[in-house]
Amino acid sequence: MDERQAIDQLCINTIRTLSIDAVQAANSGHPGTPMALAPMAYCLWQRVLRFDPEDPIWPNRDRFVLSNGHASMLLYSLLYLTGVKAVNADYEQVGKPAVTLEDIKRFRQLDSKCPGHPEYRWTSGVETTSGPLGQGVAASVGMAIAERWAEQYFNRPGFEIINYRVYAVCGDGCLMEGISGEAASLAGHLQLSNLCWIYDNNHITIDGNTRITFTEDIPARFMGYGWNVTRVGDVNDLEMLERAFDVARHTVDRPTLIIVDSHIGYGAPHKHDTSAAHGEPLGEEEVRLAKQAYGWPPEAKFLVPDGVRENFAAGMGARGAQLRTAWNETFARYRKSFPEIAAHLEQMQRRELPQGWDRDIPTFAADSKGIAGRDASAKVLNAVASRVPWMIGGSADLATSTKVRLSFDDAGELSADNPAGRNIHFGIREHSMAAILNGISLSKLRPFGSSFLVFSDYLRPSLRLSALMELPVIYIFTHDSISVGEDGPTHQPVEHLAALRAIPGLIVLRPADANEVAYSWRLIMEQRHQPVVLVLTRQALPVLDRTKYAPASGVLKGAYVLADAADGKPDVLLMASGSEVWLCLEAYERLKAEDIKARVVSMPSWNVFERQDPAYRDAVLPPAVTARVAVEEGSTFGWARYVGPTGRCIGMDTFGASAPMKEVQKKFGFTPDHVVEAAKQQLGTAARPKR
């Protein structure tokens, strides 16, 4: 073994033993995959990856995604050994180390930068939260789409500002999950040659050998998707690994899958049940034997030998610094030659909006015939996107129904031949669409995606990660209620609003008319660290007369008084979101004619309303007024916080029915008459406020 081979092996074994010791100290975690994949990770980081540890948010860095997030200690060891620096909460300024040896010693413990699975915005150098298998590889497709789009938008002759690559490591679990198949299919269709997945072919899952569940021909499957497929027969062969990465870099017409054969828990070959090394600590005796197999001091814990960190600094560190310095010099000249577009890149990185982004948002005239929420949104979306050049998105094969197509002249269709297009056709792949949106957002573009509200079930795990990562992804869901009508219960959302409202950090907006839609978009675009769901109707809604009713700007506070008693002292509160607000307004007018004082509260967003100060919330929903009626064509779950113990909810506690819209609405009680009746019952049974 020559000197280079010796230091390579020392670094690889340091990655392994740090992972072993961290899992053992925590008495929790997965040591096997880090032990097996350490040579591959070392080769990629030390010899290939264009990444500067001093600036982990450098825009043109290569992306590394650990999709099999249970192997998190593999990544944490690399972040520590390469000296990756942390950035502040806004991902703007570099500071102290991202991961310290103390963090590794406290793996999976409270406040350690080494949690059980990699968490974006918690540990710098983690490009995406991974853990739910398949999410990482699917997000990597979004990163690759974003890179190709940015190449086309920013690069100019003599100024190659964007040209990074995306590498994602995955295992059998990732490839079993359906989301990875959806994402790989789209990646092959789009010929994303900047994308490389490394498949850890170790034949083990927690339940045992993969032969009990997973025997398909992976190479044939990916070749069928249109991928380049290559294989490395021994994970310890660094030269063969480097050649495989070189092949991927020089493949220009398709993404690459590198299949790497490994043995989970490598270094403890006497262990018969190797699946245990995958899902639990080795135990003190196995740790000692594994270290002996590596030629490591068996009693040493968290040992980092001299020369290891220095070797990484001389390899990845020096290469990354040189590349970033050269890029900064090029970008300085680029800024002088193309100041406007350079400013766009900087605004994009900070998640800022260009000046005048809202200049063309329309105001809708009062109209009793009205306009569907989806149609109003289409007008606003196009007005906004035409002013925000890095806003891209599409739908899961429903653009004509959800009305999200960007139709201005230079929008274009994103394809293998036109990576600069801003309309993305995701196909009928809802789950991977949402994960891909996450990847695009992680690349600092502003993505949107759409489907029917009922199909939010198909993408909820990825949407949840949008919220967990605090990404400003925009979800546009139409066909928002049982008013879908003839399509019946399979297409009529009932529990979906409640389920979405339950996700921490997610803003849910259900506007009542076209002007509420316009203000919803104003609120959406101002979010830098929160995803938003915009829930829209298929059917036309009256455009309210804002000279008669309160202005739609109340949307910005989540809920507002739309119509009130003449003296501002109502006897009954009528509250609703979306299409049911007009039912409350009709009921309000009838009650007013009978000298019954009502207040109508439009509640497009519970989430936004709840973050207002208590004085405002009490002004909208006075605690003294206990006669309350809530109306929503969805589950009544959650409305109790607003109607109180004696209030009434007109909503859904069953699934819907297949019939024309008016008949469905009547069957389930969504009529002005029913709202009036409920209000009168409330006034008869609830205590009236004292005057």
The residues facing 631 across adjacent strands are: 576, 650
Q: Rounded CA gap, 416 and 425, in Å? A: 11
pLDDT over 80 at 316, yes or no:
yes
What pTM did the predictor assign? 0.95
Angle, helices 178-189 vs 135-154, to 10°: value is 20
Kindly report the CA angle at 63 between 58 and 66, in degrees rounded to 5? 135
Which amino acid belongs to residue 664? V
Residue of 147, 430, 516, 632 with catalytic role: 430
Distance from C-alpha of 17 to C-alpha of 31, rounded to nearest angstrom: 9
Which residues neighbour 413 within 8 Å (Cβ) at sequence distance 6 or greater? Answer: 421, 423, 425
So what's the pLDDT on residue 533? Answer: 98
CA distance 151 to 160: 8
* pLDDT value at residue 29: 93
For the chain, domains (ranges, CATH) are: 3-324 (3.40.50.970), 367-542 (3.40.50.970), 557-685 (3.40.50.920)
Strands of 382-432, DSSP E? 391-395, 423-425
Distances (CA, A) of 250 to 191, 196, 420, 506: 13, 11, 22, 41
pLDDT of residue 89: 74
Question: Could you tell me what percent of the chain has a pLDDT over 70?
Answer: 96
Each residue's pLDDT tens digit, 487-499: 999 999 999 999 9
User: Do 92 and 83 contact (CB within 8 A), yes or no?
Assistant: no
602-625 pLDDT, tens per residue? 999 999 999 999 999 999 999 999
Cα 80–chain centre separation: 26
pLDDT at 265 over 70: no
DSSP string, 542-553: EEP-TTTS--GG
Question: Is residue 160 packed enough to be buried (19+ CB in 10 Å), middle (13-18) or exposed (0-12)?
Answer: middle
Looking at residue 1, its pLDDT comes to 76
- Specify the range with the lowest mean pLDDT, choosing from 31-35, 510-514, 686-690: 686-690
Residue 685 confidence (pLDDT): 55
3-state secondary structure of 484: helix
Give me the chain's average pLDDT, please: 94
**What burial class does residue 691 get, using C-beta atoms within 10 Å of its C-beta: 0-12 exposed, 13-18 middle, 19+ buried?**
exposed
SS (H, E, C) 68-91: CHHHHHHHHHHHHHHCCEEECCCC
Radius of gyration of the chain from its Cα atoms, rounded to whole angstroms: 28
The answer on pLDDT for 268 being more than 50 is: no
**Worst-scoring range by mean pLDDT, 27-41, 276-290, 425-439?**
276-290
**3-state class of 653 per DSSP?**
coil
The separation between the first and the last C-alpha atoms of the chain, rounded to the nearest angstrom, is: 92
Is residue 430 annotated as part of the catalytic site, yes or no? yes
The per-residue pLDDT for 264 is 65
